[in-house]
Amino acid sequence: MLFSPLRLRDVTFPNRIMLSPMCQYAAQDGIANDWHLVHLGGMANGGFGAIMTEAAAVVPEGRITHGDLGLWSDAHRDAFRPLVQFVQARGARFGIQLGHAGRKASMQRPWYGNGPLAQDDFDRGDMPWPIKAPSAQPVADGWLMPEELTTDEISALATAFADAARRADELGVDFIELHAAHGYLLHSFLSPLSNARQDAYGGSLKNRMRIVLEIVTALRTTWPDSKPLFVRLSSVDGAEGGWTIEDSIALGRALKPLGVDVIDCSSSGIGGATKVSRGGTIQPGYQLEYARAIREGTGLATQGVGMILDGPQAEAALQAGQADLIAVGRQALFDPFWPRHQAYEMGVNSFDDWPDAYGWWLKRREPSIQAARAAE
């Protein structure tokens, strides 16, 4: 199943392997550049059936760091064009994740400390900006204090997401994903641990889900019916009194009739770090059971992610009905040709579908490799 196609609406993914969205912190003023072209283009050469960008902020203040991508203007759209064209020419589907960092915005790049901007960052030219959240509650002590979003600002935000989706469609992007996980703005509305509002966007589960449902509705006004829409969720907060798997299922059921096709199932992040394992430690495939529960509870397709290390593990998850797509993140950084290498190891790749500049040489070397192994 891992190397079989998957059709969602009018888009056919050539295999079930997605490059997971991973921040590169390499943009300038939100503009994609050669780093992103080489990074994402290399993954397309490596055989990923779908390439998803890191979160592209829909407004400047929605970036996590000064190095994050954006899609809030036509100039940002045009910078994506060479990336989209190269990836699609390699046979992969191109997707853009749309997001807003909320109270986790205006932060340091991780290798500079991964905390609030400090004097060293100011010296590099990275200055802080005011941040927004559902409530005036910081992530933790020492973090920036956000301002509470007004209802007018929430409405404007839905428009910003719809405008970004329109730009993505103008690029010919194959799919988009709404980022509602990892403690960023939309997740912080969903979780009762970070949403203390007393209006229509706070309190009950229905109210806390409202902004996500409104944004998805806005996205579908500009994002074509022929193209799939993904939503990334933190399936659980992993903290007492927080967002639960039952809440994720309820949200998925509400999203399905609005035009969502896939739930991308991650976890945690509401109080800082992401990732929650039920056993208390991070094990291979530790989030796949969340994907199974949401898949079974909503009837939506799901994407499994988190410590997916090899092809047989991914194949087993698909065969077991835990997910419909498999997202590979840090393992892809370790091995950008992960899909092709796994296909080779699993005996379903003969180099014919590699880029000609690579496959031509490797196919002719292979008999010598096999002969040497037989002689050992």
- The model's pLDDT over 263-320, given as tens digits with 9 standing for 90+, comes to 999 999 998 665 554 455 789 999 999 999 999 999 999 999 999 999 999 999 999 9
Which residues are paired to 107 by β-bridges?
A: 116
Does 17 score more than 80 pLDDT?
A: yes
What is the distance between the alpha carbons of residues 167 and 77, in angstroms, rounded to a whole number? 6
Whether 130 maps to a domain, the answer reads yes
Whether 358 maps to a domain, the answer reads yes
Contact 256, 222 (CB under 8 A): no
Polymer length in residues for the chain: 376
Is 25 annotated in the active site? Answer: no
What is the distance between the alpha carbons of residues 52 and 48, in angstroms, rounded to a whole number? 10
Distance of CA 323 to the CA centre of its chain: 16
Note whether 363 and 267 are same-domain residues.
Answer: no
| pLDDT bracket for residue 349 (50, 70, 90) | confident
What is the distance between the alpha carbons of residues 266 and 358, in angstroms, rounded to a whole number? 34
Note whether 355 and 267 are same-domain residues.
Answer: no
Whether 302 maps to a domain, the answer reads yes
Task: Report the largest interatomic distance among the alpha carbons of the chain, rounded to a whole angstrom.
Answer: 74
Note whether 294 and 373 are same-domain residues.
Answer: no
Name the token pair of 208.
Answer: 């806390």
Report the pLDDT averaged over residues 112-133: 93
- What's the pLDDT score for residue 271? 84
Contact 231, 263 (CB under 8 A): yes
| Domains contained in the chain, number | 2
Q: Supply the range of the domain harboring residue 371.
A: 351-376
Task: Give residue-wise pLDDT tens across range 145-203.
Answer: 999 999 999 999 999 999 999 999 999 999 999 999 999 999 999 999 999 999 999 99
Strands of 226-297 (E only): list them. 229-234, 262-266
Of all residues in the chain, what percent carry a pLDDT higher than 70? 97
Which residues are paired to 299 by β-bridges?
A: none
Average pLDDT value for the chain: 95
Contact 284, 308 (CB under 8 A): yes
Note whether 299 and 165 are same-domain residues.
Answer: yes
Note whether 314 and 360 are same-domain residues.
Answer: no
Does 219 score more than 90 pLDDT?
A: yes
Q: What is the pTM of this model?
A: 0.96
Whether 1 maps to a domain, the answer reads no
Note whether 273 and 363 are same-domain residues.
Answer: no
From the list 184, 201, 290, 344, the catalytic residue is: 184
Query: What's the CATH code of the domain at 127?
Result: 3.20.20.70
Name the token pair of 275.
Answer: 């990732």
Whether 223 maps to a domain, the answer reads yes
Secondary structure (3-state) at 116: strand
Contact 303, 261 (CB under 8 A): no
Q: Picking from 61-75, 169-183, 339-353, which range would have the lowest pLDDT averaged per residue?
A: 339-353
Q: Between 339 and 116, whose confidence is greater? A: 339
Note whether 258 and 172 are same-domain residues.
Answer: yes
